[in-house]
Amino acid sequence: MAAGAPRGLVSVFPSPPELGASLCQLLLQEEARALASPRRRFALALSGGGLVSLLARELPRAPALRAQQWLLAFCDERLLDFGDPESTYGAYRTNLLSKISIPEKQVLAINPSLPVEQAAEDYARKLKEEFPEDDVPIFDVLILGVGPDGHTASLFPDHPLLEEEEKIVAAISDSPKPPPERVTLTLPVLNAARTVVFVATGDGKAAVLKRILETDEKDPLPAARVQPHSGRLLWFLDEAAAGELTGPVEKHSVL
């Protein structure tokens, strides 16, 4: 991460199930906070991958969930039909959304039938309509993953999109990770959130997490560039992902 930048609070759990249960507890706490505020809405942005199964296992069982008052968006999306198994929205639609009673009109997704640049512009328009008073959308919670190369959302190392400061949504047509065409939130949106949570599991993430969390780099990896301006930064890791960390962490036992 950038020299002197705070790394956030690192929480380590015995395994993904314990991590998932605590993540859902956090979402319920932040939901309650948001719904008690003048906004009366809980704005959440999710990433895909393994996060889908973590949330699908826990959230439908949460008795206090008030998904009818959610606004749900996605941190990035592949330009694929929603029926494709690699579609983030498609995965959530199949595994979670039908189980938590969130109104369809409150789920913001890309239009995968558009060319990638138009899909990004259309998604940005949808976000601006939902956050009319904000220059940059401010999510209550934004949950990110991190790749073994340090990418997050669809922001990849050494890519020009890391320098984007004007657009809230960007198209990428040369993703080093297939498929090449994607739509992603930009760093200004990620860093505007009230709470950002990185979720990482498995020993395949251990080396890059040590680099992000315990190394100062002149040219930080994309995940290390996520430093909320006024919000908080949390890391939820299982023991395997945290295996190479030597700094202080908050360890959690089985709930």
- Residues 124-130 have a mean pLDDT of 98
Q: What is the DSSP code string of 177-220?
A: SSSS-EEEE-HHHHTT-SEEEEEE-SGGGHHHHHHHHH---SS-
Mean pLDDT, the chain, as a whole number?
93
**Per-residue pLDDT at 4 exceeds 90:** no
Residue 193 and residue 151 in contact, taking contact as beta carbons nearer than 8 Å? no
| H-type alpha helices, the chain | 16-36, 51-58, 88-95, 116-130, 187-190, 206-214
Is the domain defined by 9-246 classed in CATH 3.40.50.1360? yes
Q: What is the mean pLDDT of residues 6-20?
A: 90
Q: No. of H helices and E strands in the chain?
A: 6, 10
Convert the pLDDT of each residue in 71-120 to its tens digit.
999 999 999 999 999 999 999 999 999 899 999 999 999 999 999 999 99
Span 212-252, pLDDT tens digits: 999 888 899 999 999 999 999 999 999 999 999 987 788 87
How much is the average pLDDT of 149-160? 97
Would you place residue 253 in the very low, low, confident or very high pLDDT band (cuts 50, 70, 90)? low
Q: Which amino acid is at 206?
A: A
Instruction: Determine the distance from the C-alpha atom of residue 73 to the mean position of all C-alpha atoms in its chain, rounded to a whole number.
Output: 10
Question: Which residue ranges make up each domain of the chain?
Answer: 9-246
pLDDT band, residue 163 (cuts 50/70/90): very high
pLDDT greater than 60 at residue 2: no
Confidence (pLDDT) at 255: 44
